[in-house]
Structure 1
C-alpha cells in the first residue's frame, strides 16, 4: 500500500518501464492527443496473454473505426500502472482487481470501465497456476511452508491467491517467504533454484512447463470459480471529463473481448508481437476467458480475502469502483 502511494508521487518514472512495449509505444505523452478526428489513448499494460484482445482489436480496426488510436506502454504489474493512470500519463490501464481495490481503499480516484480477463474456472487447466521446477519435492500448496515463492507484485492478487491455496491445503500462509519478480523472470529463477515455487500466468506458465515444471495448485481457481482477475480502468477525473471517449473505449473493448474469445488461433498469433515467447511454447499456452461482463460475486470473494490479508485501509466500495 505504501508502494502505491509512493508511486503516485513518482508516476512519471513509469516511462522507464517501456522496454517490452510494442512498436507503437511512443504515442503522445501525458494527455490524449487528437489529430484528424483520431484520439490517441495511452495505455498502461502488462506483457501477458491477458491483454491480447486489445492488440487484436487494434489490428482489426475496432478502435480506429471509433476514432481511437491505442499507444501501448508496458509495466510489471497493476500496482505500477495505477499511479500512471491517476497522474494522466495513461488514459486507461490494465490492472488486477486487488490493485484497484487497494487504490480505492487508499482514496486513489480510479474507475473500472471495461472487463479485462477471467479465470477458466477449471483446476489444472487455467491460465494461472502455482508451479515448481522439474523434480521438485513440493507436491501441493501444503508443502510451501518455509519456502520462497515468487509473485509479480507483493501484497497483491497473486500473493492472495497463494495464500488461498495454502489455506485450502491446510498450510499456514504466514510461513512462506514471498519474492517479487516480473513474470518473465520467473522461469529462469525457478530453473536455477533461486525460488522454490512461482505464481505465474501465461505465457510464463507455458515456458515453465516446457522446462519440465509442474503445477501444484490452480490458485486463481482456489479464490473463486470464474474469477474476474483484472479490468481496464481510468481515473475518475478522466471518466467525468471525457465520457464520450470512455464510451467509445468500452464499446471497442467489448468487441475486442468477444473477438478474442471466439478466435483463439489469432490470440496466440498476436501474443508473439508483444512478448518474446517462442512459437513452440506458444502452442502450449492455456488461454483465459474474456467475458463481456465482470463476475461481481468473484470480486467480492477476492475482496474478503484481501481484507483477511490486511491489504485494505478500508473496505473498497465496489458500487463506485465497478462500471
Structure 2
C-alpha cells in the first residue's frame, strides 16, 4: 500500500467515524439520553452556594440578570456560604437536607469532593460544568513587608524571611483559603521559585 492510498484510507475512515459519532450523538440528543429535552431543563430548582469573592460574580450576575429564569430554571436560589468548609458540608447534605446542590468552587475542590478526599471518605457526585472565571486571584502581602523584596521574584527577600522570626517573635506566615486549592499551590510555587 502506498503512502497516498494509506493517507486516503485514514482520511476516509476518520471522516466516516466522525460522521457516525455526530449522527449518533444527534440522535441521542433528540431522545434526551445525553441531554435534557428541548422542552426545558431537567430541573427548574437548584440551590447554588457561593463565597463572596470576585470568582462568585458570574453566578451572582446570572441570578440578578435573570439568566436562570430565561432558560427555564425559575427556582434557582443563590446562597452565600460562610466558608469553604461550610460550602463543602452543605453540598454533602444536599438541597433535600437544607444544603446546596452545587455552586462556585475553588479548583480542585469539586474533584476532591467527588472522590471523598475532603468529605470523610464520603464521595459526593460532582461534575465541573464550566469554569466561570480564571482571573481575580493574586498574592497579596501585608503593609509591614513593604520594601523588603517581597515581589514576584522573592529571591532577594530570602534573608528577610529566614530572619523574620528573630526580629518579630513569630514565623513568617503565608495563608491560603483551603488545603490543596490553587492558591495553596501558587504560594508554594512562589516560595520555591524564590
TM-score, normalised via structure 2 length: 0.54
Question: Which has a greater percent of strand?
Answer: 1
| Structure 1 residues 113 and 149: CA distance shift in structure 2, 3 A | closer
> What 5-or-longer segments of structure 2 have no aligned partner?
1-42, 163-170
The residue aligned with 2:127 is 112
1:83 Cα shift?
A: 2.6
Is 1:75 paired with 2:81? yes
Distance 1:152 1:47 in 2: 13
Is 1:129 paired with 2:138? yes
Distance 1:39 1:163 in 2: 42
Q: Which has the larger radius of gyration?
A: 2
Q: How does 1:245-284 map to 2 (within 5 A)?
A: none
1:115 counterpart SS class: coil
Contact kept, 8 Å, 2:55 with 2:104, in 1: the verdict is no
| Structure 1 residues 119 and 165: CA distance shift in structure 2, 3 A | farther
The residue aligned with 2:188 is 163
1:77 Cα shift?
A: 4.4
The residue aligned with 1:14 is none
Q: Deviations over 1:60-119 (max 9, x none)?
A: 221112232322222254443223112211122221122223323435223224223443
Q: Deviations over 1:215-236 (max 9, x none)?
A: xxxxxxxxxxxxxxxxxxxxxx
Match for residue 150 of structure 1 among 175, 187, 191: 175
Match for residue 150 of structure 2 among 132, 136, 139: 139
Q: How does 1:85-234 map to 2 (within 5 A)?
A: 85-88=91-94, 89-105=99-115, 106=117, 107=121, 108-120=123-135, 127-134=136-143, 136=145, 137-140=148-151, 141-142=154-155, 143=157, 144=161, 146-169=171-194
> How many residue pairs were aligned?
126
TM-score, normalised via structure 1 length: 0.34
Q: Relative CO higher for 1 or 2, CA cutoff 8 Å, sep ≥ 6?
A: 1
The residue aligned with 1:240 is none
